[in-house]
Amino acid sequence: MYGLYVLGFVVSCLFALLLTPLVKRFAFWVGAIDKPNHRKVHTRIMARMGGVAIFLAFVGAYFVISPALSDVNGNAALALVLGGFVIVLTGALDDRFELSPRWKLLGQFVAACIVVACGLKINEFNVPFGGHFSLPDYVSMPLTVLWIVGVSNAVNLIDGLDGLSAGVSGIGTGTILVLALLTPFSDAFTVILLCTILLGSISGFLFYNFHPAKIFMGDSGALFLGFALATLSILGFKVSVVLSLLTPIMILGVPLSDTFFAIMRRFLNKKPISEADKNHLHHCLLQLGFSHRTTVLIIYGIAAMFGAVAVILNNYTDSAWLTVLIVVILLFVLVVGAEAIGIISSSQKPVIRFLQKLFVKPSVNSRLPK
């Protein structure tokens, strides 16, 4: 069994290594290029559409080893292949023609509906102190579509530095893989296999995408990785006894939190939510003086921390109070860190100011009358 997992990883990694240079040439040929501007950190014209190589490597590796498979969930694989094709096509068209948000959203919606049609839905979850909840179809189906579309866009939003989105997605995929290995459930084999294949595709592509990048994944890659992560998280936890509403959120903590802070920032600044800016997590770290590579590695570390919390919540926490305590501490650290780097606002830092008043005693000179 483990031999199949290793084979899937190796084959997909080799496919990605071989296909990425070909996709790069194709991207230049069709004009799918990314030109520098005031919002971007790169200084030369780069090929996009790298996500096509990731997707082809993933699909190719799956079909290479599929003759040896018997216990795989065919509906899950079909959802990733068909839905993935739709979302990669949407992203590739955007990489070339810069589609309007309406058309991009339509492609994501169709891909998410394919997943639902294949029988993958968020139909149950556990909440601390709240017990187990089962959702009717009229709730689970739109919730699943919203989850897939939301995660796809969240991963797309953090795709601003070489290797950032691919690496964070790889860490998320690895977290789902670890959880599937530790948690026995009916579709564990399918989740582990698909995760190892996806991880191999990401690893092969990162060889060309890590700083200094030779090709960008573009929307075709970021949307596909977000789509795949959202779908795998549904498959991995939809029938698990220890299913938690928080676990998939923690796995995708970096893109989801960055998206949340972007919404808050634009709301406070009275700007449209869809308006792009240069105040995402990676932008703020660069403005603090960190190098391109160091910034990416810092965010990798944050993603790994979220992944570790997801593993703890899903496997080693029996007490609801302990679960709540861990989540509260994590949220507190997240908010303080966000205020410290100015991801929400450079001037409004209420939590940090409260902590300063609480723990920092005023000096003698500050108490003397002027």
- Please list the residues that pair with 124 across neighbouring strands: 134
> Got the DSSP string for 6-64?
HHHHHHHHHHHHHHHHHHHHHHHHHT-EE---TT----S-EE--HHHHHHHHHHHHHHH
218: left (phi over 0), alpha (psi -120 to 50) or beta: left
Q: 135-168: string of b/e by CB count within 10 Å (b at 16+)?
A: eeeeebbeebbebbbbbbbbbbbbbbbbbbbbbb
Strands 124-127 and 131-134: antiparallel
What's the CA gap between 104 and 94, in Å, rounded? 7
Whole-Å CA distances, 215 to 14, 25, 169, 196, 369: 17, 10, 17, 23, 62
HSE (side-chain half, CA atoms, 13 Å) at 228 = 34
- Please list the residues that pair with 133 across neighbouring strands: 125
HSE (side-chain half, CA atoms, 13 Å) at 101 = 7
Which residue ranges make up the annotated binding site for Mg(2+)?
Answer: 156, 219
What φ, ψ does residue 112 adopt, rounded to 5°?
-65, -40
Which residue ranges make up the annotated binding site?
Answer: 156, 219
Chain centre distance of CA 113: 20
